[in-house]
Each structure stands twice: as structure tokens, then as C-alpha cells.
Structure 1
Amino acid sequence: MHFTVYCLDHDNMVERRLAHYEAHKAYLAKAPIRTIMSGPLLAGDQQTMIGSFFLYEADDIAEVMRFNSSDPFNEAGIWRTVDIRPFLKRVDNR
């Protein structure tokens, strides 16, 4: 099953986000679930990072929730909100 994870940062988190980026990247690399796609969400200026988006493949939502809760960005208090939802992929034009 696929799951989207949509995370919005607290205000003024760019420096904290960059300080934890290497730990976050290493954490994703050793994921027990498959990361299909991930990257930062951007503000209207198309440069300022304001959150994170992930598309995961996992057996169930509880597995994704456990993994996300231990993400270094989450543990550092960067994300203000985290929304995890099942996703049914119908089209993939990659």
C-alpha cells in the first residue's frame, strides 16, 4: 500500500532544517519501508523550504507512523503538522 506524508514546518525553521538535514537523509536511507519519492515543500518564492512530502510503500499506516515519528526532523521539532494518508496510485507517468 502507498502512503503520503505531508509535513508543514513551524515558522522560521530553515536553519534548523539545514542543521538536521544530514541526519534526516541518513535516516531515510536506512528506512524499513520503501521511499518512492520525497522532497521539501516550498513557499511561493519556489526557494524557501516550508515542509516535507513523502510517498512511501509500506504494509500498513502504523508502520509509516512509527517511522515518521523517529525522523530527525520530527524529533528536532521542525514539523508543526504531519498528515499521513493512504494513497491509491492510479496513474504514474514517470
Structure 2
Amino acid sequence: MFFMILAPDRPDMLERRLAHRPAHVDYWVAQGDKLKVAGAMLESDAPDATPIGSSFLIEAEDEAAVRALIAADPFMIEGIFGDDVTVQPVRPALGVWRPA
């Protein structure tokens, strides 16, 4: 099953986000094939837009497994993500990347 995750940052977290980004990236790289797509949510479409959260497309057995992954993310542990993380089951069907 696939899940879309939207994880907005708490206000004024840019410095903390940048400081903990290497650990955050390493954590998700270590998840291997579970992670399909990830990237920063941005405040605007400007080329130099500030990150204001993270988004992920994850493959996992169930929502509980996804929530466990997010709970162990360094951005969550360090209090960068807010309490309003959304986990939504999705069914990818079209696009360049899609499940086999």
C-alpha cells in the first residue's frame, strides 16, 4: 500500500531544519525501497523559496508502519515537524513513476 505524507514544519524552524537535514536525509535513504519520492514543501514557487515542511510517497504495509517511520524521523524527534502531519493512503496510477 502507498501513503502520501505531508509534514509541515513548526514556525521559525529553518535554522533547525538545515542543522538536522543531513540526519533526516540519511534516515530516509536508509529506508531503501520503502521511500518512493520525497522532498521539501516550499513557501512559494520562487527558485529560492524557503522550505516549510516535507512531503513523502511511502510504500508500507499499513498506516501504523508509516506513522512509526515518521515518528523516528530526526525532524520529528527534534521538534521541527508540527503536530499536523497528514498520512493519506493513495493509489498511484499515472506518471513517470508508478508501481509495477
TM-score normalised over the length of structure 1: 0.92
Question: 1:1-94 to 2 correspondence within 5 Å?
Answer: 1-31=1-31, 34-44=34-44, 46=46, 47-80=49-82, 81-94=84-97
C-alpha displacement of 1:60: 1.1
Are the equivalent residues in 2 in contact too, given 1:40–1:53 (CA < 8 A)?
A: yes
The number of aligned residues is 94
Equivalent AA in structure 2 for residue 39 of structure 1: G
Structure 1: which 5+ residue stretches go unaligned?
A: none
Task: Find runs of 4+ consecutive structure 1 residues off by over 4 angstroms.
Answer: none
Instruction: Report the Cα offset of residue 45 of structure 1.
Output: 5.5
Two-structure CA RMSD over aligned residues (Å): 1.5
Paired with 2:69 and 2:16, the residues of 1 have a C-alpha distance of: 20
Cα offset, 1:93, TM superposition: 3.1
Change (3 A) 1:67 1:32: farther
Distance 1:62 1:33, change over 3 A: farther
The TM-score with structure 2 as length reference comes to 0.87
**Percent of aligned pairs with the same amino acid:** 36
| Ranges in structure 2 where 5+ consecutive residues have no aligned partner | none
Would you say the 8 A contact 1:20–1:72 is kept in 2?
Answer: yes
Letter in 2 for 1:8: P
What is the deviation of 1:44? 1.9
Note the C-alpha offset of 1:23. Answer: 0.6
